[in-house]
Amino acid sequence: MSLSQAQKNYWTGAIVVGAVIAVLFGILAGNSAGGNQTAYIGAAVVGGVIAVGSLIVLLTRR
């Protein structure tokens, strides 16, 4: 099944947002300590998963 242009735009946006979240929280995790660091690492991982998952959808559904 092929994606429409609107769907391609959506998944591309999800990749960008996921990557930005991963980088932002990765930086915060590197600059913090204690309980917040664990939360930032978790948020960075989730952002990365969103970006990679969106990329997989975009590449497999073309």
Domain count, the chain: 1
State which residues form the domain around 44.
5-61
What is the dihedral sign for C-alpha 35, 17, 24, 47? positive
pTM reported for the whole predicted model: 0.86
Q: What is the pLDDT along the chain (62 residues), one digit of tens a residue?
A: 788 999 999 999 999 999 999 999 999 999 988 888 999 999 999 999 999 999 999 999 87
One-letter amino acid of 56: I
Contacts of 16 (CB under 8 A, 6+ apart): 51
